[in-house]
Amino acid sequence: MEVLRDQNWLLTVGTFLPLVGVLVMLFIPKSDEQSHKSVALITALATLAIGIYTLTQFDFDQADKLQFFADAEWIKVISSNYTIGLDGMSLPLYILSMIVTVLVMIYSWNHIPSPGNPKAFLSLMLILQTGMAGTFIAQDLILFFVFFEVVLLPMYFMIGVWGGEQRQYASLKFFLYTMFGSALMLVAFIALFFKVRGALPDGVEPSFSIPMLAEYGGLLGRSAQIWIFAGMFVGFAVKVPMFPFHTWLPDAHTQAPTQGSVILAAILLKLGTYGFVRIAIPILPEGAREWAPWIGLLSVIGIIYGALGCLAQTDMKRLIAFSSVAHMGFVMLGISTLTPMGFNAALFGMVAHGLITGMLFFIAGSVKERYHTLEIARLGGMLKQLPKLGWILGFCAMASLGLPGLAGFWGEFPAILAAYSPAPGLSEEVFRVFMVIAALGTVFAAAYLLWLFQRTAFGEPKPEFSGGNGHGDHGHGDHGHGDHDDLHDVNTFEWIAWTPFLIAIVVFGVYPQLMFKIFDPAVSVALKAFGG
Binding site for other proteins (CB under 8 A): 30, 73-78, 117, 120, 142, 145-146, 149-150, 152-153, 156-157, 160-161, 167-168, 171-172, 175-176, 179-180, 183-184, 186-187, 190-191, 194
Least gap, CB of 85 to other proteins (angstroms) = 20
Smallest separation (angstroms) from other proteins to the CB of 454:
37
CB of 57 to other proteins, least distance (A): 28
Minimum separation from the CB atom of position 214 to other proteins (A): 21
Q: How many CB atoms lie within 10 A of CB 305?
A: 19
User: Shortest approach of other proteins to residue 142 CB, angstroms?
Assistant: 8
The answer to whether the beta carbons of residues 98 and 91 sit under 8 Å apart is: no
**Nearer residue to other proteins within complex by CB, 231 or 365:** 231
Smallest gap from residue 244 Cβ to other proteins (A) = 17
Burial zone of 421 (CB within 10 Å; 0-12 exposed, 13-18 middle, 19+ buried):
middle
Buried b (16+ CB within 10 A) or exposed e, 264-302: bbbbbbbbbbbbbbbbbbbbbbbbbbbbbbebbbbbbbb
Nearer to other proteins, 40 or 350 (CB): 40
Query: d(Cα 515, Cα 342) in Å, to the nearest integer?
Result: 14
Q: Is 24 or 120 the residue whose CB approaches other proteins more closely? A: 120
**Per-position DSSP letters for 424-465, written without gaps between them:** TTS-HHHHHHHHHHHHHHHHHHHHHHHHHHHHHHSSPPPHHH
Q: How far is the CB of 259 from other proteins (least distance, A)?
A: 17
124: which residues sit within 8 A by CB, 6+ positions away? Answer: 154, 157, 158
Please, are residues 293 and 226 in contact by the beta-carbon 8 Å criterion? no
Radius of gyration of the chain (CA): 23
Residue 110, classified by CB atoms within 10 Å of its CB into exposed (0-12), middle (13-18) or buried (19+), is exposed
Compute the CA torsion angle 37, 38, 44, 47 (nearest 10 deg): -160
What's the closest the beta carbon of residue 135 comes to other proteins, in angstroms? 12
Whether 369 and 339 have beta carbons less than 8 Å apart is answered as no
Closest CA to 11 of 106, 87, 119, 64: 87
Give min distance, CB of 160 to other proteins, in A. Answer: 5
CA 302 – CA 329 distance, rounded (Å) = 5
Q: Could you count the other beta carbons within 10 Å of the beta carbon of residue 199?
A: 15
Let me know: does 399 contact 505? Beta carbons within 8 Å: yes
Rounded to a whole number of angstroms, the minimum distance from the CB of residue 23 to other proteins is 13
**DSSP label at 278?**
I
Task: Read off the amino acid at residue 363.
Answer: I
Task: Let me know how long the chain is.
Answer: 532
Nearest CB to other proteins, comparing residues 25 and 504: 25
* Closest C-alpha to 395, from 365, 362, 356, 424: 356
Cα–Cα distance for residue pair 80/78, rounded to 1 Å: 6
Q: For other proteins, give the closer residue by CB, 155 or 525.
A: 155
Q: Least Å distance between CB 35 and other proteins? A: 16
Least distance between other proteins and beta carbon 190 (Å): 5
Nearest-10 crossing angle of helices 513-526, 91-108: 130
Picking from 306, 303, 298, 302, the residue whose alpha carbon sits closest to that of residue 322 is 306
Task: Kindly state the smallest distance separating residue 95's Cβ from other proteins, in Å.
Answer: 24
